[in-house]
Amino acid sequence: MEAIHKKEGAFAQRKFVDTPVQIFTIWRILSMLTAKENMRETVRGGNPDRFVNQYEAVSILMHPYLLSQPLLKRGMENVVNGWGVTNSFPENVPGAFPVHTPDKIVVKDFENWQDYVHAPSLKFSDELWNVCKDMYAAVDGTKAYKAAFVAPGIFEQVHHLCSMQEALMDYMEYPDEMHDLIKYLTDWELELAEGICSNLHPDAILHHDDWGSELNSFLRPSIFEDFFLEAYQKIYGYYHSHGVELIIHHSDSYCANLLPTMIDMGIDVWQGCMHSNNVPECIAKYGDKISFMGEIDNKQVDFEGWTYADCEKAAVHAMETCGMKHFIPCITQGGPGSLYKGTYQGLWDAIDDYNCKHFGFTKEQLEAQRLPISIMF
């Protein structure tokens, strides 16, 4: 009988100890934020319950203009798009780029750019719009933002048409003509934005426009502001006023000197912020106005012979130096993917492991709150 009482006492004690743990575990699961909710809290400086894992909360979606253009894959060369720009995508490079041999430059006389630049039509069939609508409808909007993908941006489109060397000189030599060209490109983008918003209703935009190298911006801040502030205020202002919650702007470069202008443009998240920007300092100075997604440069992890240890080292350093609020650890490349197979997945696993270790989640719980991993390239 004494043994029975001892057993019952031990059971009662165990039940008393375990019950709060079980209650906490259940509460933890029920209160866990979806990936989208967690990203919203991160960007707003609220109360995220873990680090956002790269693009886990952003479903990157197409629209008819992109679907109507040639789809470049690695190994393809000299493919002409709707603007007349020739692009190539050689093996072992992160993405396609314009070809600017003399015979392939579109604008051959910048003073008369109107003779060479002819914007492609943005009139698409209902059938093509419906294909895109089905893509958007298939995404669980409680777990991820439905982000329309827009590329190239205004700055990139200028040098795609003219070549980088010529374009940088044209800002100085032909400022009036450059302003006119930028207005022309802006008006085209606004028409594109109208079609996207009225038909697809995204709640985020992933917009590419690379504005610098690893060490500096291509234009000094005053010149950049003069040519591009108004253009992007119009474009991003349109999206914000038509249901888009987050403008995610990709520029994998140094742009710390452009941040005041980027904020005035209406950018919510700067994707691609490289280590050279001193991201912790940027967060401390501007985090209440713009969030940062990056800090893990491709060159840190995306190379032949990479290992999980390389990914873990880079990811942990980014998270522990930048903190959770207004920061998303992410490869700086402008989409979920990498040059060398598996690198993006390696970073994904490293961030998951950190979240499990430090915030008490399991891999299964993380997976339940987001869409399956998607590799874009």
Instruction: Indicate which CATH number applies to the domain containing 121.
Output: 3.20.20.210
Looking at the structure, tell me whether residues 185 and 259 fall in a common domain.
Answer: yes
- pLDDT at 7 (0 to 100): 39
| Cβ contact 119:191 at 8 Å | no
What total of structural domains would you count in the chain?
A: 2
Looking at the structure, tell me whether residues 19 and 123 fall in a common domain.
Answer: no
Stretches where the chain sits below pLDDT 70 are 1-29
Backbone torsion region of residue 53, taken as left when φ is above 0, otherwise alpha when ψ lies between -120 and 50, otherwise beta: beta
Task: Tell me the pTM.
Answer: 0.92
Q: Where are the alpha helices (DSSP H) in the chain?
A: 2-31, 35-44, 64-68, 126-137, 154-162, 164-173, 175-200, 221-241, 259-265, 279-286, 298-301, 308-322, 343-359, 363-368
Residue-number span of the structural domain to which 3 is assigned: 1-31
Residue 120 forms part of a structural domain: yes
Looking at the structure, tell me whether residues 4 and 108 fall in a common domain.
Answer: no
Residue 376 forms part of a structural domain: no
- pLDDT at 9 (0 to 100): 44
Looking at the structure, tell me whether residues 23 and 49 fall in a common domain.
Answer: no
Backbone angles phi, psi at 98, to 5 degrees: -75, 145
Report the percent of the chain where pLDDT is more than 70. Answer: 92
- pLDDT at 372 (0 to 100): 97
Looking at the structure, tell me whether residues 145 and 211 fall in a common domain.
Answer: yes
Residue 185 forms part of a structural domain: yes
End-to-end Cα separation, the chain, in angstroms: 69
- pLDDT at 20 (0 to 100): 60
CA distance 149 to 127: 20
Looking at the structure, tell me whether residues 50 and 125 fall in a common domain.
Answer: yes
Looking at the structure, tell me whether residues 22 and 54 fall in a common domain.
Answer: no
| Cβ contact 65:196 at 8 Å | no
Looking at the structure, tell me whether residues 201 and 150 fall in a common domain.
Answer: yes
Looking at the structure, tell me whether residues 201 and 104 fall in a common domain.
Answer: yes
Looking at the structure, tell me whether residues 181 and 106 fall in a common domain.
Answer: yes
Looking at the structure, tell me whether residues 152 and 20 fall in a common domain.
Answer: no
Residue 375 forms part of a structural domain: no
Looking at the structure, tell me whether residues 26 and 67 fall in a common domain.
Answer: no
